């Protein structure tokens, strides 16, 4: 089962992707993780990606797609995978479809978690990250056991700059401009499934499981 997770930043797609990956025993793949792993291992693709990132530039679509295709060619992906954070644009989606098609494969589902902008601004304002180990919490949904401190290492919890309301609104503008068109793209492909992300987390998960026909 090959799934793409869609939705605005803060819609909960990362959380749901992890839960689905656990349930079906398939890897949860995020482009951020792929970049970090390749750069750390010093692979050729990683070196190329790092050259762009060091200059503060976006990694080109073709190179990003090459990194993703390299990752999903691994043995642990033979029964499927979940893509989280890729594709972000129509050109990336087209590059992915073309690369998969060359292997005689295609994506099975694109799951869009729908949440309105104001709810996202409110949600992300409640996020807290550990300044030491990076573990994430939410003041309402996943509160730490001890207020202001990480459950894992005891480090201080902070509101990251990219979770502040003004930053979130800018990120949402970019999402609506660049990524939201993927909804129509995958609807045309006939693999789009939409879920109301305003429902409780467990209900959203159950709906996704139902919609993907498993």
Query: Catalytic residue positions?
Result: 13, 88, 127, 160, 171
Largest CA distance in the chain: 51
Q: List Cα–Cα distances, 72 to 69, 174, 206, in angstroms.
A: 5, 27, 26
Our CA dihedral for 130, 135, 138, 143, rounded to 10 degrees, sits at -90
- At 43, is the secondary structure helix, strand, or coil? coil
Torsion 62-176-58-36 (CA) sign: negative
* H or E stretch at 3: strand 2-7
Cβ neighbours, 10 Å, residue 45: 20
């Amino acid at each position: 089962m090959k799934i793409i997770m869609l939705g605005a930043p803060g819609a909960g797609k990362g959380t749901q992707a992890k839960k689905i990956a656990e349930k079906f025993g398939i890897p949860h793949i995020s482009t951020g993780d792929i970049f970090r792993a390749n750069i750390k291992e010093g692979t050729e693709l990683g070196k190329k990606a790092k050259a762009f990132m060091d200059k503060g530039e976006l990694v080109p679509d073709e190179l990003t797609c090459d990194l993703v295709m390299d990752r999903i060619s691994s043995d642990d992906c033979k029964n499927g995978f979940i893509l989280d954070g890729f594709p972000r644009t129509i050109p990336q989606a087209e590059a992915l479809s073309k690369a998969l098609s060359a292997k005689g494969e295609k994506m099975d589902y694109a799951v869009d978690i729908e949440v309105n902008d104001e709810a996202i601004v409110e949600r992300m304002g409640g996020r807290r990250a550990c300044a030491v180990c990076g573990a994430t919490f939410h003041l309402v949904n996943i509160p730490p056991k001890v207020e202001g401190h990480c459950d894992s290492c005891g480090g201080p919890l902070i509101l990251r700059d990219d979770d502040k309301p003004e930053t979130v609104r800018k990120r949402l503008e970019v999402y609506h401009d660049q990524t939201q068109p993927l909804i129509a793209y995958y609807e045309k492909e006939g693999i789009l499934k939409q879920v109301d992300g305003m429902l409780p987390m467990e209900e959203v998960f159950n709906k996704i499981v139902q919609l993907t026909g498993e």
